[in-house]
Structure 1
Amino acid sequence: MSYVRQSAREPDFGPVLDAQRTYAASRGQRSRFGLMVPEAFVRGIRDIGYRSNGDAIAELIDNALQAYADRVDVLFGYEGTTSNKKPMQLAVVDNGHGMEAEMIRMAVMWGGTHRENDRRGLGRYGYGLPCSSVSLGRRFTVISHVTDGSFRSVTLDLDAITAGDYTVASGDIVVPEPVPAELPPFVRRHIAEAYPDGFRSGTIILVEKLDRLEWTTAQGLRDNLCRQFGVTYHKLRGEAALFVDGTFVEPIDPLFLTPGFHLVDLDTDRSNPFDPVRIEIRDPESNAYLGAVTLRYAWFPPSFGSIDKGRDAVGLNANPRFSILKDYHGLIFSRNGRLIDVQTRTPWTSFINNDRYIKVEVEFSATLDEAFGVTTSKQQVTVSPFIWDHLRAAGLPKAIEQLRNKVKEAKAERRQEALSPGAGEQRLSERAMTIAGAMGVAGGDQHQWNLALRVSPYRLEYEHLIGQPFFRVGREHGARTLHLNTAHRFFEEIYDSRMSTPELRSALEILLFSLGDVMLEGPEEDRQRASDQLQSWSKRLDLALGMLAEHLSVGDGTDVGVSAWSDELP
């Protein structure tokens, strides 16, 4: 697929390049282009702690977007090997405004950016390019050119630093001067195909000596990067087209609310939104406007991650949505439209596996970085009490509980449909109770046991009544009816738990039918006393099952389902 830059979108790069020249002249003179730190820092910076290869590469994509690129490619190179199974080189190519020679030299340095402390875009510190590059491999090269310029490059090799190749007479470790660049063949081929009218300006970050790739195959790396970038940049897809190893990255809204985005219309299941909430954050002393926070909410039906809608998303029954539900589980934090963190704990609640079917996004502006505790690598937030108070006041805790209740109600409805017999069919427990009743009344008359000759006097139904007993009985339509309350813990954690079987459920139904028989017989005074006891018994049962669930909560960390995007790990 050939993607050509639209000239109508091209901004005036002159002011940007002027800012680069001013910055390079002033800072370069003062720092003597030194790395400013001992070589131990350069080796140690590799362990800065990127959560994944995707988080590291995202730093380079951020830079490309801030350079006004409208196409960004992550390329795999296989030069030096006869196999295409695992890449030997990785390059991020963008068609942004590019960098002049001296700015390329500054960009290799930690902290070298003319956008220092800029709150309008994605970057602030100038650490992303070198940190992310060395977290992937031991050598990286920055190649760039501006309009009407030629390719220049600067290479930083960690092995060469250790060997003293960059150490000058004064003992300083100095970034090499820019030199004319020759593009690697796989990058040159890509540019010729993607830009048939010419590559007018842009930057290439080439990473070699790849020794920290997490995925053992190119396919696994490509598929997982496409999935991660699809979610991370889904709000910024109007800015640039993004490709990984030639594959277009489809935008994925983790709340599955954006029409036309990937997986939204995978099947007939749909995401259910709550109304978004916008919060203005102001200085508590001066009342000055600091920034805005937007909360988005969604909940999914219990079959949302399943292929066969009648079963849970377990094993091979997990559809491609399930990996998104699992990986983006908790509060999703986005900064200036770019997803940066997901957290499962808040001051008032924690997200467990059952909460995968609810989603909450907290979108904030970069002017609130300090209040959200955004890290240098832009992959984690440490929310301040000041912000938590605003989120609480905006109704976030209540909204989370409402989302959970929606999912619980949907699960109860789904279970009720699954457990209800078809038209004209009887449950096993209803059949057994009818036979037992016939035996007691007919004194052993076998003909009375034939259910085909009589209407069953027992019937089971479901209801969802919060705060009511876990069952009740009554005489309705000529039958003794047992009502099971799907809102009580008894239903979910005993009757319809994962460990329950059809045989166990039938036995429990017979137990409750039998208790109901006794409760319905006798004088009115005895029936009222039994009803009061049932209310007390249900409350105690709910409390005890809740305590049991807390003791067994360690099991909530166990994963079920296989990610449809998974690939072999090393």
Structure 2
Amino acid sequence: MNQSKLYISPSVVIESMRDNGYKNTAYATAELIDNSIQAGATCVRLACFEKYKTRGKQIEQIAIIDDGKGMPSDVLHLALEFGGSKHREDEKGMGKFGMGLPNSSVSQCRLTEVWSWTNPEEILYTFLDIDKIKNKELESIPVPIKKDLPEHIKQAFNGEIPNSGTVILWSHLDRLHWKTSKSIKLHTEALIGRIYRRQLSAESEYNKGRNPLRIVFQCYEFNDLTKSYLEISSESFKPNDPMYLYTDTTLPKLPDPFSQVSAFSINDVEPIEIEYEKGKYSTVTIRTSVLKPEVNKALRATTDANIGGTVWGKHMKKNIGLSIIRANRELDLISDYYINDNNAKDRWIGVEIEFEPVLDQFFGVTNNKQGANKIKYIPIDVLTSEIIDTDGKTKAEIEEEYWSYLKEEDPLGEQIIRINITIKELITKAYEKISNLGYGGFKSTEQDQTDNLVVKTDVANIQATTAENNRIAEFPINEDEAEIDVEGYKKHLIEEGLPEEEVEKTIKEIITNNLKVKFEYRDGLDDFFDIASFQGFTEIRINTAHSFYSKFMQNANEEERNLLNLCLAAWGRMEKEASSNIKKECSNTRRRWSKMLEEYLGDAVE
């Protein structure tokens, strides 16, 4: 009797495996840096090799180069297999999933080459070639062979190849998020500095008794005369600490006499013991930090406005969120985790949760190490309403019944929910402390407290702002650095004929809700919608006299209207990111489409 064998053909699935969820090139390179750190590297180099093309300079290759312990032939052979890494055997290691090298590489390029050595006299080489796999020229990773390093890679070592190490070289870069070394560095340095802040800072507990890790960004440019690459820049990444507990970071030096002092101090530390399997325990630690009163005073002395507008406040604004730490490196910074930036107060707190890799399944850690799906705050009344019959019961009775139910039916889920509630409670305590200290312009009188109340805004503005912030985190442009041009926007609203009282209310709505995008409905516009930018803020105006508004939007439900508004916000962001010549064409296209839409809807049935 013939037995069939189940298998997956590499030539069929390789392209689909490339869509593996990496947010951008920076996160993909972080996977490789994880491997280098786990291999004991003291220096990791991220090298970009550029050539001039018809459209200007473009990256030809990217290399991650380290001086770690290197890999013998059998380990190197496994390293490019999906799930084949020896890191699976290290329960506490960064890269225990065994997917990082091949997963991250195929997400960015079509050819991945790896050189590794445990002594410089015997450098081994293998590769993963998507085109050869698709064409069925390769069905497995080639057995490593001896092969010398390319000359331009040797150059990145500054002429001295270490006794052991690994080089990963990406070529045929068809899925890079950014095409030049300048943009790679712009989008990578803050993220890499934040992910590996503990490894990079000489002040961290991680580096007690040893030198901090160096991660160096190097850029090389091909010279057509010499037919070789020349180094044009080399710069070490600095730690970027959202807790603001170190002094050797990317935060600009604080004013004297605090230039050698950390900006924040620890506010709370809460260890929680978790039983993740029967008889197996691990500790989760939640920490919050707050801006020091003396530092707050020094920063306020530098400006007549709120310190959120200073270079320090702007830096802190980019690091708002819950930092998730696993194996001493950051997985994610959740910017909207129970954090609502009211008059900039959240810039003055830090919060992080730390756990070991043994809790990966418990927290729902993704295999590309970009997040933990189960770390999300849901109010307990929402949770209880899904399970408990609440009729005729007090709140205390409902909660007691809910926790009893969870302990019996879902003990792991109960621990997750309690952790999320604890994070929320510690954030609330940090808020209370900074509010009592008057940070961010908060006042104590009844009238001033009334002045600081949030002005309600449409949910579409919040949704569009969240989407815009997510886009900014991955694809920032210079305009994003600027604070909203309040005076310019006021002038614009007055010219629109808005009453002064309405102008002040609109400005307060934007500031207190920290809006990046706001929708306005006006008649008398030339097009269905137009877009106006005021530095870090975008107004999208929708023409109520346009037939699309009267025939659809006016009668749409809230969900439908919000979805359409988000489509318009995406268009607005596209125009902002476009180069000047393309921006003009986008604007012209928007106008032509608006007129054509009017024509097509002219005879539509009411």
TM-score, normalized by the shorter chain, greater than 0.5:
yes
SS of the residue 2:172 aligns to? strand
Task: Give the gaps of 5 or more residues in structure 2.
Answer: 1-5, 201-206, 219-233, 376-412, 457-485, 491-504, 519-532, 538-575, 580-606
SS of the residue 2:88 aligns to? coil
1:309 aligned to 282, 293, 303, which one? 303
Partner amino acid, structure 1, of 2:62: L
Query: Are 2:211 and 1:211 equivalent residues in the alignment?
Result: no
Matched with 2:224 is none
Task: Give the gaps of 5 or more residues in structure 1.
Answer: 1-33, 167-172, 416-462, 471-484, 502-544
Deviation at 1:260, TM superposition (A): 2.9
The 8 Å contact of residues 321 and 336 in structure 2, kept in 1 or not, is answered as yes
5 Å matches for 1:236-275? 236-237=199-200, 238=207, 240-245=213-218, 246-263=234-251, 265-267=253-255, 271-275=263-267
Q: Deviations over 1:49-89 (max 9, x none)?
A: 11121110000000001111111101111368699833210
Query: Are 2:45 and 1:73 equivalent residues in the alignment?
Result: yes
Number of matched residues?
407
CA distance in 2, matches of 1:72, 1:303: 39
Matched with 2:355 is 364
The 8 Å contact of residues 88 and 98 in structure 2, kept in 1 or not, is answered as yes
Query: Are 2:318 and 1:290 equivalent residues in the alignment?
Result: no
5 Å matches for 1:396-415? 396-408=423-435, 414=441
Q: Deviations over 1:319-347 (max 9, x none)?
A: 37625522x3321101011000122455x
Deviation at 1:405, TM superposition (A): 3.9
SS of the residue 2:90 aligns to? coil
Matched with 1:330 is 321
SS of the residue 1:90 aligns to? strand
Query: Are 2:146 and 1:155 equivalent residues in the alignment?
Result: no
> Could you say if the C-alpha distance between residues 311 and 39 of structure 1 is closer, same or farther in structure 2, counting changes exceeding 3 Å?
farther
CA distance in 2, matches of 1:117, 1:341: 24
Matched with 1:231 is 194
2:450 aligned to 457, 465, 488, which one? 488
Q: Deviations over 1:169-196 (max 9, x none)?
A: xxxx222222332323321112244x3x
SS of the residue 1:487 aligns to? helix
Deviation at 1:397, TM superposition (A): 2.6
CA distance in 1, matches of 2:301, 2:60: 37
SS of the residue 2:287 aligns to? strand
Matched with 1:540 is none
> Could you say if the C-alpha distance between residues 70 and 119 of structure 1 is closer, same or farther in structure 2, counting changes exceeding 3 Å?
same
Partner amino acid, structure 2, of 1:179: I
Q: Deviations over 1:450-501 (max 9, x none)?
A: xxxxxxxxxxxxx615xxxx4xxxxxxxxxxxxxx2222567759xxx7999
Matched with 2:87 is 115
Matched with 1:181 is 147
Deviation at 1:247, TM superposition (A): 0.9
Note the aligned Cα RMSD (angstroms): 4.1
Which stretch shows the higher mean deviation, 53-62 or 39-48? 39-48
Partner amino acid, structure 1, of 2:449: A
SS of the residue 1:188 aligns to? helix
Matched with 1:58 is 30
> Could you say if the C-alpha distance between residues 37 and 390 of structure 1 is closer, same or farther in structure 2, counting changes exceeding 3 Å?
farther
> Could you say if the C-alpha distance between residues 164 and 382 of structure 1 is closer, same or farther in structure 2, counting changes exceeding 3 Å?
same
> Could you say if the C-alpha distance between residues 200 and 161 of structure 1 is closer, same or farther in structure 2, counting changes exceeding 3 Å?
same
SS of the residue 1:72 aligns to? strand
CA distance in 2, matches of 1:207, 1:305: 44
CA distance in 1, matches of 2:371, 2:32: 17
The 8 Å contact of residues 251 and 315 in structure 2, kept in 1 or not, is answered as no
CA distance in 1, matches of 2:191, 2:301: 22
The 8 Å contact of residues 306 and 322 in structure 1, kept in 2 or not, is answered as no
Matched with 2:444 is 464
Deviation at 1:271, TM superposition (A): 3.1
% identity of equivalent residues:
24
> Could you say if the C-alpha distance between residues 68 and 159 of structure 1 is closer, same or farther in structure 2, counting changes exceeding 3 Å?
same
The 8 Å contact of residues 128 and 377 in structure 1, kept in 2 or not, is answered as yes
Matched with 2:110 is 138
Matched with 2:419 is 391
> Could you say if the C-alpha distance between residues 163 and 365 of structure 1 is closer, same or farther in structure 2, counting changes exceeding 3 Å?
same
CA distance in 1, matches of 2:276, 2:137: 53
Matched with 1:89 is 61
TM (normalized to structure 1)?
A: 0.62
The 8 Å contact of residues 63 and 123 in structure 1, kept in 2 or not, is answered as yes
Partner amino acid, structure 1, of 2:330: L
Matched with 1:11 is none
The 8 Å contact of residues 316 and 348 in structure 2, kept in 1 or not, is answered as no
Partner amino acid, structure 2, of 1:263: L
TM (normalized to structure 2)?
A: 0.58
Partner amino acid, structure 2, of 1:254: P
SS of the residue 1:253 aligns to? coil
Partner amino acid, structure 2, of 1:281: E
Deviation at 1:35, TM superposition (A): 10
> Could you say if the C-alpha distance between residues 70 and 390 of structure 1 is closer, same or farther in structure 2, counting changes exceeding 3 Å?
same
Partner amino acid, structure 1, of 2:50: Y
> Could you say if the C-alpha distance between residues 217 and 408 of structure 1 is closer, same or farther in structure 2, counting changes exceeding 3 Å?
farther
Deviation at 1:100, TM superposition (A): 1.8
CA distance in 1, matches of 2:251, 2:276: 42
Q: Which has the larger radius of gyration?
A: 1
> Could you say if the C-alpha distance between residues 322 and 120 of structure 1 is closer, same or farther in structure 2, counting changes exceeding 3 Å?
same
Partner amino acid, structure 1, of 2:448: T
Deviation at 1:219, TM superposition (A): 1.6
CA distance in 2, matches of 1:48, 1:305: 43
The 8 Å contact of residues 105 and 177 in structure 1, kept in 2 or not, is answered as yes
> Could you say if the C-alpha distance between residues 162 and 116 of structure 1 is closer, same or farther in structure 2, counting changes exceeding 3 Å?
same
The 8 Å contact of residues 214 and 236 in structure 2, kept in 1 or not, is answered as yes
CA distance in 1, matches of 2:535, 2:246: 25
> Could you say if the C-alpha distance between residues 44 and 318 of structure 1 is closer, same or farther in structure 2, counting changes exceeding 3 Å?
farther
SS of the residue 1:85 aligns to? strand
Matched with 2:333 is 342
Deviation at 1:390, TM superposition (A): 3.7
Which stretch shows the higher mean deviation, 175-184 or 485-494? 485-494
CA distance in 1, matches of 2:277, 2:126: 48
SS of the residue 1:229 aligns to? helix
Query: Are 2:34 and 1:42 equivalent residues in the alignment?
Result: no
**Larger RCO, structure (CA 8 Å, separation 6 or more):** 1
CA distance in 1, matches of 2:273, 2:578: 43
Q: Deviations over 1:136-163 (max 9, x none)?
A: 1111101111126411211222122222
